[in-house]
Amino acid sequence: MTASSIDRRHLVRTAAGVAVGGVLVAGSGVAAASADEHAGLIGSWWLEHSDDAPAPPSPGIAIVSMAPGGVIVANDIRPAGVVRNGSWSGDADHFRAILWAPLAPPTGGADPGSTRVQIQGRLSGGVMVGTAAITGYSPDGTQIFSGTGTFRGTRLRA
First to last CA, the chain: 38
Structure-model confidence comparison of residues 157 and 3, the more confident one: 157
Q: Give pLDDT, residue 39.
A: 61
Other beta carbons within 10 Å of 102: 14
Q: Give pLDDT, residue 142.
A: 97
Per-residue pLDDT band at 109 (split at 50, 70, 90)? confident
Q: Is 125 left (phi over 0), alpha (psi -120 to 50) or beta?
A: left
Cα 49 to Cα 74: distance, rounded to the nearest angstrom: 12
Q: What is the mean pLDDT of the chain?
A: 80
Amino acid at 117: V
Report, as an integer, the average pLDDT of 113-117.
96
Q: Of 32-36, 81-85, 92-96, which gets the smallest average pLDDT?
A: 32-36
Structure-model confidence comparison of residues 14 and 86, the more confident one: 86
Q: Is 126 left (phi over 0), alpha (psi -120 to 50) or beta?
A: left
- Predicted model pTM: 0.74
Report, as an integer, the average pLDDT of 7-33.
38
**119-156 pLDDT per residue, tens:** 999 999 999 999 999 999 999 999 999 999 999 999 99
| Cis amide bond preceding 68, omega within 30 | no
Residue 75 has pLDDT above 70, yes or no: yes
